[in-house]
Amino acid sequence: MKKIAVMTSGGDAPGMNAAIRAVVRTAIYNNVQVAGIRRGYQGMIEGDIFNMDTTSVSNIIQRGGTILKTARSKEFMTPEGRKKAFEQLKKHEVDGLVLIGGDGTFKGAHAFFGEHSLPAVGIPGTIDNDIAGTDYSLGFDTAVNTAVDAIDKIRDTAEAHDRMFIVEVMGRDAGYIALNSGIACGAEDILVPEKDTDFKSILKRISNDKRRKKLVNIIVVAEGDDFGGAEAVKAKILEHFPRIDVRATILGHIQRGGSPSYFDRVQASRMGYAAVNTLLKGTSQVMIGLENQQIICTPFENAIKEHAPLDMDMLEMAKILSS
């Protein structure tokens, strides 16, 4: 293998730059050329590919986002688009790929490599932490810490005014950020996509809290919860308790940005290093993952079959500890 290319795809996640750095420098150490692909699969189709060296990744380990940019590509979802991408890779003499992204990235890779023969290894990079085949995906730790910091600040103002706050965090299909930030901040309720919301139970708890004169409540809701986001939950609560002072806060994309935590930087470095070495050993069409803090390889087809399951016992624990 003389030349590999690295790209980031889907939603950005803190730690992606640290992974890019590890890929580039590990490859060069092994006398392998490295190319960067800008804007994910769309950049691959358009031939937005450039050579990288060690200085290309200087001073990026601490930066959020991705220096390679990212984009979603409808064209890549078609056989014609994937053929264009393959032709561009061959034009740039790319012998192997390292793909950093989430579920959509690996689904695209599985379709691509079912049609065109090119070795590839994936690195899970998504704040949702919902990819099967790994205990952890890049960006999750930083995103949860960002949410925890914001919710802690919200609790300060909630206590100052005796208010209830509904805090919406990211998680369209997975409740990992909601669950972990909610437990860390002592939230009274945590609403996630994996479990139907029992609103009668929430209303009963609020009624009991009023009798106990507990005036401060924090409810953390994932954006993909079946009941709706923070505003929908707020409206429903006000229907039953119109005199409660309740506010909704949507944290939004601040959870994707910011300097990655030490954990994200270290694991990104480990995964990037492992991805290149896996390619050079001749193993392909796999995702690098962490299981019990050990590096493992999971075939793409297994990684995309289902989302990593949420630990429902933790939801029960959160309910008990907040009572």
- As annotated, the binding site for ATP includes 11, 72-73, 102-105
Per-domain residue ranges of the chain: 3-139+260-303, 142-256
Exposed e or buried b per residue across 136-166, where buried means at least 16 C-beta atoms within 10 angstroms of its C-beta: bbbbbbbbbbbbbebbeebbeebeeeebbbb
Among the residue ranges 21-35, 88-102, 116-130, 214-228, the one predicted with the least confidence is: 214-228
Architecture of domain 142-256: 3-Layer(aba) Sandwich (3.40)
Mean of the pLDDT values across residues 66-89?
93
What is the per-residue pLDDT across 203-212, written as a single tens digit (0 to 9) for each?
Answer: 888 887 666 6
Q: What is the pLDDT of residue 215?
A: 62
Residue 280, number of CB atoms within 10 A of its CB:
17
Between vectors from CA 259 to CA 295 and to CA 300, what angle results, nearest 5°?
35
The C-alpha torsion from 197 through 201 and 207 to 210, rounded to 10°, is -70
Question: Is-same-fold flag (3-139+260-303; 142-256)?
Answer: yes
- As annotated, the binding site for Mg(2+) includes 103
This prediction has a pTM of 0.93
State the number of CA atoms in the 13 A half-sphere of 190 facing the CB.
Answer: 33
Q: Give the C-alpha distances (Å, rounded to integers) separating 303 from 73, 116, 134, 287, 315.
A: 20, 20, 8, 7, 25
Kindly name the residue from 48, 128, 225, 264 that is annotated as catalytic: 128
Architecture of domain 3-139+260-303: 3-Layer(aba) Sandwich (3.40)
Q: Is 149 a catalytic residue?
A: no
Tell me which residue of 136, 173, 170, 180 sits closest to 306, measured CA to CA. 173
pLDDT category at 35 given cuts 50, 70, 90 is: very high
Mean of the pLDDT values across residues 24-43?
97
What is the per-residue pLDDT across 139-171, written as a single tens digit (0 to 9) for each?
Answer: 999 999 999 999 999 999 888 888 889 999 999
Mean of the pLDDT values across residues 248-259?
94
Asked if pLDDT for residue 113 goes beyond 90, the answer is no
Q: What is the pLDDT of residue 88?
A: 97
Asked if pLDDT for residue 254 goes beyond 70, the answer is yes
Backbone dihedral angles phi then psi of residue 5, each to the nearest 5 degrees: -120, 150
- As annotated, the binding site for ADP includes 21-25, 155, 186-188, 212, 214-216
What is the per-residue pLDDT across 37-75, written as a single tens digit (0 to 9) for each?
Answer: 999 999 999 999 999 999 999 999 999 999 999 988 889
Backbone dihedral angles phi then psi of residue 157, each to the nearest 5 degrees: -75, -30
pLDDT over 90 percentage in the chain: 69
- As annotated, the binding site includes 11, 21-25, 72-73, 102-105, 126-128, 155, 163, 170-172, 186-188, 212, 214-216, 223, 247, 253-256
